[in-house]
Amino acid sequence: MPTFDIVSEVDMQEVRNAVDQANREASTRFDFKNTNSSIEIGEQELVLRSSTEDRLTALRQVLQEKMVKRQVSLKALDEGKIEEASHNAARQRIAIRAGISNDNARELNKFIKGLGLKGVSSQTQGDQLRVSGKKRDDLQAVITACRDKDFGIPLQFNNFRD
């Protein structure tokens, strides 16, 4: 019986590369001069720091451009509020979301069942979804429908097996 998995993953190596490029650009650009702008990467979050809110916004835009160039979906970034930091600086935390939450899994299951394809079923397995069906064409229709609808998270389709 053909199956495939729906997952939501983020390539952390590409995120690190995008952060390095954004930091390098911030250190050389004239409009970031003497603003102490930087991006720090943690386990599952990024911390942006700058001297003012508008420089922080510009730094976030540079980071987003670098992420898009490296094919990291911006849907995986959960931006927090801009906070006041010490020495009249601004700081923003951006969480990196990976995996499909229970709410998103329920929404995906409901959507797949709502397609009305005969013999197609889906089940949650941890932070991914396993979709199985009798016909390969039905599974490809599910993939196409899931790509067309926006669930608010980046989706990848792995392990397509016959």
Note the pLDDT tens digit of each residue in 135-157.
999 999 999 999 999 988 999 99
Instruction: Give me the pLDDT at residue 108, please.
Output: 93
Q: Answer yes or no: do 64 and 107 share one domain.
A: no
Instruction: Give me the pLDDT at residue 89, please.
Output: 86
Q: Which CATH number belongs to the domain containing residue 20 in this structure?
A: 3.30.70.990
Average pLDDT, stretch 12-18?
93
Domain housing 154: 3-8+99-161
- Domains identified in the chain, total number: 2
Q: Answer yes or no: do 87 and 134 share one domain.
A: no
pLDDT band at 13 (very low <50, low <70, confident <90, very high): very high
pLDDT band at 31 (very low <50, low <70, confident <90, very high): confident
Instruction: Give me the pLDDT at residue 1, please.
Output: 86
Q: Answer yes or no: do 81 and 109 share one domain.
A: no
Q: Answer yes or no: do 48 and 86 share one domain.
A: yes
Average pLDDT, stretch 31-47?
89
Q: Answer yes or no: do 80 and 52 share one domain.
A: yes
Q: Answer yes or no: do 64 and 89 share one domain.
A: yes
Q: Answer yes or no: do 150 and 120 share one domain.
A: yes
Could you tell me the CA-to-CA distances from 25 to 21, 22, 61 in Å, in that order? Answer: 6, 5, 12
Q: Answer yes or no: do 69 and 29 share one domain.
A: yes
Lateral strand order in the sheet of 121-125:
121-125, 128-132, 3-7, 156-161
Helices (H) and strands (E) in the chain, counts: 4, 8
| Domain termination site, one of 96, 118, 145 | 96
Q: Answer yes or no: do 26 and 89 share one domain.
A: yes
In this structure, the number of other CB atoms found within 10 A of the CB of residue 34 comes to 6
Could you tell me the pTM of the whole model?
A: 0.83
Instruction: Report the C-alpha gap between 46 and 41 in whole angstroms.
Output: 5
Residues 90-113 have pLDDT tens digits of 899 999 988 898 999 999 999 999
Confidence check: pLDDT of 17 > 90:
yes
Q: Answer yes or no: do 77 and 104 share one domain.
A: no
Q: Answer yes or no: do 127 and 70 share one domain.
A: no
Pairing relationship of beta strands 128-132 and 89-96 according to DSSP bridges: unpaired
| Domain termination site, one of 69, 96, 123 | 96
Instruction: Give me the pLDDT at residue 146, please.
Output: 93
Q: Answer yes or no: do 86 and 157 share one domain.
A: no
Q: Which CATH number belongs to the domain containing residue 145 in this structure?
A: 3.30.70.860
Strands (E), 3-155: 3-7, 38-41, 45-50, 77-85, 89-96, 121-125, 128-132
